[in-house]
Amino acid sequence: MTSLRPFHAPDLFKVNPVNLDVLTENYNIAFYLTYLAQWPTLFFSTVNADGNLTGYMMGKTEGDGKEWHGHVTCLSVAAEYRRIGLARTLVDNLERRSDDPAHAFFIDLFVRTSNRLAIDMYKGFGYSVYRRVVGYYGADPGEESEDAFDMRKPLSRDVNRQSVRENGENFKVSPDEVYL
- Per-residue burial over 65-97, b if 16 or more Cβ lie within 10 Å, else e, is eeebbbbbbbbbbbeebeeeebbebbbebbbeb
Average pLDDT over the chain, rounded to an integer: 93
CB of 53 closer than 8 Å to CB of 47: yes
Q: Are 61 and 42 in contact (CB under 8 A)?
A: yes
pLDDT digits (tens, 9 = 90+) for 39-83: 999 999 999 999 999 999 999 999 999 999 999 999 999 999 999
Dump pLDDT digits (tens) for 72-116. Answer: 999 999 999 999 999 999 999 999 999 999 999 999 999 999 999
pLDDT of 180: 56
Q: In the chain, where are the structural domains located?
A: 2-177
Residue 12 near residue 29, CB atoms below 8 Å: yes
Q: Which helix (H) or strand (E) holds 96?
A: helix 86-99
Residue 126 burial (CB count, 10 A): 14
How far is the C-alpha of 129 from the C-alpha of 152, rounded, in Å? Answer: 6
pTM of this structure: 0.92
3-state class of 19 per DSSP? coil
CATH T-level assignment (fold) for domain 2-177: Aminopeptidase (3.40.630)
